[in-house]
């Protein structure tokens, strides 16, 4: 039996809601939010307290920092390769080195070189991600 005493209420813990898996990313386009399936994302890049999201032929800005974005992503699908970059592993076409020995990624549908930090290079050198 639950009892209450003056000024002392019995508090029962409220269970936390189950985490909802992220399936879409909402990109601001003027007054609209355009929803894109998460598998279409090539990579996320930190821009101060915001995060830029890159898709095959477009990009957009998220009003969230990269750490918060990374924490919500499926772990087997996305990998942090630099302090400011999280990539979709399914979109990596090849891993290369430039003339200075720095590692970078070539992604499906993108022309820019996505940097891999020296501390994260070991993930690719091991050959199993």
Question: Could you read off the pLDDT of 48-68 as tens digits, one per residue?
Answer: 999 999 999 999 999 899 999
The C-alpha atoms of residue 75 and residue 97 are separated, in whole angstroms, by 25
The C-alpha atoms of residue 27 and residue 24 are separated, in whole angstroms, by 10
- pLDDT, position 129: 55
Residue at 81 is within a domain? yes
3-state helix, strand, coil in the chain (%, to 5): 15, 40, 45
Q: Tell me the residue range of the domain where 63 lies.
A: 24-125
Region 81-86: mean pLDDT is: 96
The C-alpha angle with vertex 24 and arms to 22 and 25, in degrees rounded to 5, equals 105
Which domain CATH number covers 35? 2.40.50.1020
Confidence label for 5 from pLDDT (cuts 50, 70 and 90) = very low
- pLDDT, position 32: 87
Confidence label for 96 from pLDDT (cuts 50, 70 and 90) = very high
Structural domain count, the chain: 1
Task: Give the rounded percent of residues in the chain with a pLDDT score beyond 90.
Answer: 60
Q: How many CB atoms lie within 10 A of CB 53?
A: 22
Residue at 18 is within a domain? no
Residue at 10 is within a domain? no
- pLDDT, position 4: 47
């Amino acid at each position: 039996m639950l009892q209450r005493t003056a000024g002392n209420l019995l508090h029962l813990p409220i269970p936390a809601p189950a985490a909802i898996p992220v399936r879409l990313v909402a990109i601001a386009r003027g007054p609209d939010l355009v929803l894109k399936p998460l598998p279409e994302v090539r990579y996320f890049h930190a821009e101060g307290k915001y995060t830029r999201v890159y898709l095959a032929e477009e990009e957009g800005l998220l009003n969230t920092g990269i750490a918060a974005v990374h924490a919500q992503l499926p772990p087997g699908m996305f990998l942090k390769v630099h302090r400011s970059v999280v990539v979709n592993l399914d979109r990596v076409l090849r891993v290369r080195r430039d003339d200075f020995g720095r590692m970078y990624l070539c992604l499906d549908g993108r022309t820019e070189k996505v940097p891999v930090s020296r501390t994260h290079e070991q993930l690719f050198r091991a050959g199993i991600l």
